[in-house]
């Protein structure tokens, strides 16, 4: 456990990437309602940049998938030595204690808001109901439920990615134990990772399910798992390789997020492989840098790293702030040209709410649960992803 804590504490690069990703998610959900391209910023900044800031939330979630696959696999390797020796009880206990407390609180709050009839929180689409949404959220199939019935209100909708991730981690340890050999497991992971463009393309008749189906998301997670296995063998990474991976990752993200229309025209659903490949390059570069001598975190980005450390809490709660800000913006008939100003209080308030939840809910609950399920000292508890 000490190795895991030490590794996580030095992994400032991955925290930075997580912070970048959660910031894009929040900007996306604000931008759907107050687009930057309709503000005065369009007079001074390229519209392509403003679109990139507002409309890459979905791509950011896939970056999260890659990071999650890498970190959780990395921690298993540090704790248990090999995937074939994974401790099932410990693995599931850690996932449960990390995920469930905040999830239960969110579902409870959303249920109360629905019963009170608060706008933006009422489930009213035909074929949907509150009991069924609760079952879908807690049963990790909310993505499937939306694919069948349509979008749920925004605070419920964010749980689609959690459904994919947790189903993967319910099955993954069992597959590791059954495969028993890395040379058997790796080809399976490679096939899954490379299947991403085809599994998305095969679902073109249902736009929601195409975006939120299990296999595309699991393909991105598998990419991160492969990265962790590679990192285990690649003990020391030359500085030149680190810089090359960083450059390739940044170029890939630029092509997907800024030149997405051109990339789509060129390779269609293959652009998602560019995205997950770029994310993997940046994750490996961050890992290599963290293990190199004289590594120092980039100055001036501590605020973004803090977003990364709070990414789970911010992801689950940011829509409360977004909905409140947008309702106020509409109530006072805010000027669209000055819409960018509404981002200034909304973003720090999203961080503050996430920080409050982390301090008063997720960390205390995680420590309490792990202390009882794993009998580990409270001070040794650290979040895996």
| Torsion angle, alpha carbons of 315, 320, 323, 325, to 10 | -100
* pLDDT for the residue 291: 82
Residues 6+ apart with CB under 8 A from 196: 216, 219, 220, 269, 272, 273, 276
Q: In whole angstroms, what separates CA 120 from the centre of its chain?
A: 23
Q: How far is CA 322 from CA 32, 34, 164, 299, in A?
A: 10, 10, 24, 29
Tokens 């993954």 belong to which residue?
172
Structure-token pair, residue 104:
């239960």
Query: 369, 101 in Cβ contact below 8 A?
Result: yes
- Alpha carbon distance, N-terminus to C-terminus of the chain: 15
Q: How far is CA 136 from CA 25, 82, 143, in A?
A: 22, 33, 8
What pLDDT is stored for residue 6 in this prediction?
39
Rounded to whole angstroms, the Cα distance separating 308 from 17 reads 7
Whether the Cβ atoms of residue 52 and residue 268 lie closer than 8 Å to each other: no
Query: How far is Cα of residue 79 from the mean position of the Cα atoms in its chain?
Result: 23
pLDDT at 244: 98
Structure tokens at 103: 């999830």
Tokens of 88: 């099932």
CA gap 134, 194 in Å, rounded: 33
Phi, psi of 126 (to 5 degrees): -60, 135
Q: Where are the alpha helices (DSSP H) in 302-342?
A: 302-309, 311-331
pLDDT for the residue 12:
87
How far, CA to CA in Å, does 155 sit from each of 119, 133, 143?
12, 12, 13
In whole angstroms, what is the distance from residue 164 CA to residue 63 CA? 14
Question: Can you tell me which residue has the tokens 């990615």?
Answer: 161
Q: What is the pLDDT of residue 8?
A: 45
- Ranges of the chain with pLDDT below 50: 1-9, 378-379, 382-385
- Contact between 226 and 193 under an 8 Å Cβ cutoff? The reply is yes
Place of tokens 């807690």: 138
Q: Is 120 left (phi over 0), alpha (psi -120 to 50) or beta?
A: left
């Amino acid at each position: 456990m000490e190795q895991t804590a030490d590794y996580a504490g030095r992994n400032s690069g991955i925290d930075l990437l997580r912070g970048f990703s959660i910031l894009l998610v929040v900007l996306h959900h604000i931008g759907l309602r107050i687009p930057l391209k309709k503000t005065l910023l369009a007079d001074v900044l390229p519209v392509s940049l403003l679109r990139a800031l507002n409309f890459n939330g979905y791509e950011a979630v896939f970056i999260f998938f890659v990071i999650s696959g890498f970190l959780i696999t990395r921690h298993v390797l540090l704790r248990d030595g090999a995937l074939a020796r994974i401790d099932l009880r410990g693995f599931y206990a850690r996932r449960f204690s990390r995920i469930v407390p905040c999830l239960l609180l969110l579902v409870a709050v959303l249920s109360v808001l629905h019963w009170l009839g608060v706008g933006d929180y009422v489930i009213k689409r035909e074929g949907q109901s509150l009991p069924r949404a609760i079952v879908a959220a807690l049963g990790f199939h909310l993505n499937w439920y939306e694919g069948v019935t349509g979008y749920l209100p925004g605070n419920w909708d964010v749980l689609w990615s959690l459904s994919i991730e947790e189903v993967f981690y319910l099955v993954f340890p069992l597959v590791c134990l059954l495969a028993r050999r890395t040379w058997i497991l790796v080809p399976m992971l490679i096939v899954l990772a490379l299947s991403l463009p085809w599994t998305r393309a095969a679902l073109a008749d249902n736009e929601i399910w195409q975006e939120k189906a299990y296999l595309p998301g699991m393909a991105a997670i598998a990419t991160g798992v492969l990265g962790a296995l590679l990192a285990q063998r690649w003990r020391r990474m030359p500085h030149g390789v680190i810089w090359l991976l960083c450059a390739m990752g940044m170029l890939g993200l630029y092509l997907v997020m800024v030149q997405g229309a051109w990339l789509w025209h060129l390779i269609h659903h293959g652009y998602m492989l560019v995205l997950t490949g770029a994310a993997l390059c940046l994750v490996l570069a961050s890992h290599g840098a963290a293990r190199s001598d004289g590594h120092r975190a980039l100055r001036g980005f501590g605020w973004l790293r803090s977003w990364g450390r709070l990414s789970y809490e911010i992801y689950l709660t940011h829509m409360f702030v977004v909905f409140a800000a947008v309702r106020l913006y509409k109530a006072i008939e805010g000027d669209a040209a000055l819409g960018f100003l509404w981002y200034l209080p909304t973003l720090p308030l999203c961080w503050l709410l996430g920080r409050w939840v982390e301090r008063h809910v997720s960390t205390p609950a995680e420590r309490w649960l792990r202390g009882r399920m794993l009998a580990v000292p409270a001070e040794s508890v650290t979040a895996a992803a």
